[in-house]
Every structure is written in C-alpha cells, then in structure tokens.
C-alpha cells in the first residue's frame, strides 16, 4: 500500500489584511486607552508583530510607543500574568 505524498495542495485566496486603526480613522494612539493596548500584547506581555496583527507600519510605531509609555506609567503590566 503506497500513499501519495506529493499531491497538489489546494490554494485558497488570502484575505487582504487591513490596518484596523486606518479603517477606524484613528490618527493618534493614546497611552491612556489601556483596552486597545492590552489587546495588542500577547499572553506573556510582548508586543505582537505587524505580521500577526495586520497593522500598518505607522500605527505599529505609534502602538509600540504608547505601550511603552503605559508600562512606564504603571497602567499596563510588563507581563500579562501580573495585573490583567
């Protein structure tokens, strides 16, 4: 009994990623909006990369700055297990 390993793979069209902040027309990301910032961090507290979130480069830079400011002001934990 032999199994075919090199069969054709089905290709599905990729869904285009759009920046959620551009869609919502958000110009500035504030460090005081902790709900948005907490969603963009992983379970260990790391900032999620652009390739995972689909955010444009401009908003990713603003997001990283806002998360770092919120951490410094003790509004956001450095690791998610501590507070949130």
CATH number reported for the structural domain that contains residue 37 in this entry: 4.10.640.10
C-alpha–C-alpha distance, residues 40 and 53, integer Å: 8
More confident of the two residues 5 and 21: 21
* 38 contacts: CB under 8 Å, gap ≥ 6: 76, 80, 84
With contact defined as beta carbons under 8 Å apart, do 77 and 45 qualify? Answer: yes
pLDDT in tens, 31-78: 999 999 999 998 888 999 999 899 999 999 999 999 999 999 998 888
Residue 15 falls within a domain, yes or no?
no
- Tell me the pTM: 0.76
Chain centre to alpha carbon of residue 78: 16
Q: For the chain, how many structural domains are there in total?
A: 1
The whole domain housing 64 covers 20-72
DSSP state of 48: P
């Amino acid at each position: 009994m032999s199994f075919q390993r090199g069969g054709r793979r089905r290709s599905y069209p990729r869904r285009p990623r759009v920046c959620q902040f551009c869609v919502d027309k958000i110009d500035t990301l504030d460090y005081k909006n902790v709900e948005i910032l907490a969603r963009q961090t992983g379970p260990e507290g790391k900032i999620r990369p652009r390739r995972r979130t689909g955010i444009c480069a401009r908003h990713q830079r603003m997001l990283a700055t806002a998360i770092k400011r919120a951490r410094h002001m003790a509004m956001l934990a450095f690791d998610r297990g501590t507070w949130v």
